[in-house]
Amino acid sequence: MLLLRSLLLLNHPSPAAGETKRLFRIGTGGPTGVYYPIGKLIAEGLTRLVEENDASGAAVNGVPGIIGVAQNSAGSIENARAVVSGQIEAGLVQADIASMAFLAEHAFAGDQSGRALRAVASLYPEMLQLVTRRDANIRSVPDLRGKHISIDELGSGTLAVMRIALAAYGLSENDFHPVYLKPVFTQDKMAQNELQGFAMMAGIPMKAVTQLSDIGLFLVPIDPNTASGITARFPYIVPGRIPSGVYSGIPEIPTLQVYALLVVSAETSADLVYQVTGALWSERTLSLLKQGHPQGKLITPETALTGLSIPLHAGAERFYREKELLFK
């Protein structure tokens, strides 16, 4: 069951007489990651706060009849399961996790419900960020041995990728002291040296990292050769780089990358998904994303089909064909 540790309802006016509003819930992640702030901005963009028209008379403000909601969750695996079970209307899911769900592989082995997962858009690249205390002298993945490291919650995409990365180095959770917490719950433990590190698959920069910069941090690299070997087995997990300057005092770091997708169920109305897709790529929502979070600048219609690992929903496909972004 989806863990609803917090719920954000956007401020909205009372509906007009006879008007019915319904929630459009978007599963995100923890509050100090990137899914949650991005999900909040998308939810705001989908919500029609006022009846507003442009010069041609076309509505420009969200999707009529829905109120966007951003919900905290454990992350990608939980979001994928919650979407296909109808607990939420949409979710942010790593492309590799979406593929696993659709193909009933790995964490979803034996569960065919993921065949109902459909993409609305690819949003931005996520990076594996293995963040450690500099004084812990963890300079490579094998240096995790014997350390206390948080590798995110059960149900998270981070945990799935970390297990893949550990295996590529011949390690498992038995080689260190694993803790299964979201970064928001690791900050005090990192500051007090109860934890020597935490992992998070997220866009950059991540609040959980910037808030800890005073203690002295190091980002552990995933060497490109190992990353290429992982890609050979998991095509949607690819080599990536965290540029220098993203985090103060930390140089460019090679790591793993995967795209974040906005997904819905195949059972969702094509007309609704068409409207949601249009609202997502509206000038208003794009402005909210660009102004609201550094990662929002990377969310553009030109890359909406990059890194997709599952089929598009019919409503989203109709939108992209009309905008001549999809030709096949």
Specify whether 119 is located in the same domain as 196.
no
Residue type, 159: L
Specify whether 53 is located in the same domain as 111.
yes
Specify whether 288 is located in the same domain as 249.
no
Helix (H, G, I), strand (E, B) or coil at 324: coil
Please give the torsion angle defined by the CA atoms of residues 297, 302, 304 and 307, in that order, rounded to the nearest 10 degrees.
-100
Specify whether 174 is located in the same domain as 217.
yes
Q: Is residue 233 part of a domain?
A: yes
For 139-172, the pLDDT digits (tens) are: 999 999 999 999 999 999 999 999 999 999 999 9
The values of phi and psi at residue 189, to 5°, are -65, -35
The values of phi and psi at residue 325, to 5°, are -100, -10
Nearest CA to 183 among 5, 6, 34, 25? 34
Q: Is residue 316 part of a domain?
A: yes
Residue identified by tokens 């991540």 is 206
Specify whether 19 is located in the same domain as 115.
yes
Q: Give yes or no for a contact between 128 and 227, defined as CB atoms under 8 angstroms apart.
A: no
Q: Give yes or no for a contact between 179 and 195, defined as CB atoms under 8 angstroms apart.
A: yes
Q: Give yes or no for a contact between 169 and 256, defined as CB atoms under 8 angstroms apart.
A: no
Q: Is residue 247 part of a domain?
A: yes
Specify whether 183 is located in the same domain as 291.
no
Query: End of a domain among 206, 238, 258?
Result: 258
Specify whether 16 is located in the same domain as 134.
no
E strand or H helix at 39: helix 35-46
Q: Is residue 146 part of a domain?
A: yes
Q: What number is the average pLDDT over the span 288-307?
A: 95
Q: Is residue 328 part of a domain?
A: no
For 231-279, the pLDDT digits (tens) are: 999 999 999 999 999 999 999 999 999 999 999 999 999 999 999 999 9
Specify whether 166 is located in the same domain as 208.
yes
Specify whether 253 is located in the same domain as 132.
yes
For 20-77, the pLDDT digits (tens) are: 789 999 999 988 889 999 999 999 999 987 655 555 444 467 999 999 999 999 999 9
CATH number of the domain bearing residue 19 = 3.40.190.10
Helix (H, G, I), strand (E, B) or coil at 75: coil
Query: End of a domain among 234, 258, 282?
Result: 258
Q: Give yes or no for a contact between 68 and 47, defined as CB atoms under 8 angstroms apart.
A: yes
Tokens standing for residue 100: 């696993």
Q: Is residue 227 part of a domain?
A: yes
Q: Is residue 218 part of a domain?
A: yes
Task: Please state, in angstroms and rounded to a whole number, the distance separating the CA atoms of residues 158 and 305.
Answer: 23
Check whether the bond before 205 is cis (ω within 30° of 0).
Answer: yes
Report the number of distinct structural domains present in the chain.
Answer: 2
**What is the reported pLDDT for 51?**
57
Specify whether 158 is located in the same domain as 246.
yes
The range of the structural domain enclosing residue 106 comes to: 7-123+261-322
Please say if the pLDDT value at position 327 is more than 90: no
Q: Are strands 90-94 and 66-71 parallel, antiparallel or unpaired?
A: unpaired
Specify whether 204 is located in the same domain as 285.
no
Specify whether 131 is located in the same domain as 254.
yes
Query: End of a domain among 258, 275, 292?
Result: 258
E strand or H helix at 104: none
Q: Give yes or no for a contact between 97 and 160, defined as CB atoms under 8 angstroms apart.
A: yes
For 9-32, the pLDDT digits (tens) are: 443 444 444 457 899 999 999 888
With b meaning 16 or more CB within 10 Å and e meaning fewer, what string describes 5-21?
eeebebeeeeeeeeeee
The residues near 71 (Cβ < 8 Å, ≥ 6 apart) are 2, 4, 6, 7, 8, 25, 26, 27, 28, 39, 88
